[in-house]
Amino acid sequence: MTTVPRAPETGQPSHPGEASDAPADDHTRATLIPDGPPAPRLDFADLAAVRAWLDDLAARVDDLAAVAEDQTDPPAARMLGRAGAREQIGDAYGSLTDLIALARAGLGGAS
């Protein structure tokens, strides 16, 4: 298992874009992209948008599960090498992070 390096003064991940235990309010778009456009938000009142968001979320979870299944097969039965698995995990992680940010932004002050 790989351990995420932590910044000694904060205990938070030391690499930008890595997950942290900081409250959601500490991760606003303004801190990531100063003076940028407002962050896109998931409109929870729009059931079609929520269904599409859930479908995308489920697809990304399925992607991660498929890579995990592949990487736990015996080496001779694996379809992906380590680099391919790492790339697919990174892609799925990035998509999941974006989907969660979209939902959090849609919650507004309730997050």
- 88 contacts 96 by C-beta, under 8 angstroms: no
Q: How confident is the model at residue 46 (pLDDT cuts 50, 70, 90)?
A: very high
- Give a yes or no: residue 11 inside a domain: no
- Give a yes or no: residue 74 inside a domain: yes
3-state secondary structure of 106: helix
For position 57, what pLDDT does the model report?
Answer: 95
- Give a yes or no: residue 85 inside a domain: yes
Domain hosting residue 95, numbered range: 40-110
- Give a yes or no: residue 21 inside a domain: no
- 42 contacts 53 by C-beta, under 8 angstroms: yes
Q: What is the mean pLDDT of residues 73-81?
A: 95
- Give a yes or no: residue 60 inside a domain: yes
For position 30, what pLDDT does the model report?
Answer: 47
Q: Using CA atoms, how far apart are residues 51 and 11, in angstroms rounded to an integer?
A: 36
Q: What is the mean pLDDT of residues 18-38?
A: 53
Q: What is the mean pLDDT of residues 41-52?
A: 93
Q: What's the distance, Cα to Cα, between the start and end of the chain in Å?
A: 31
Tally of domains in the chain: 1
- Give a yes or no: residue 28 inside a domain: no
Contacts 24+ apart (CB under 8 A), 23-31: 24/104, 24/111, 25/111, 27/101, 29/105
For position 108, what pLDDT does the model report?
Answer: 80
For position 40, what pLDDT does the model report?
Answer: 83
- Give a yes or no: residue 66 inside a domain: yes
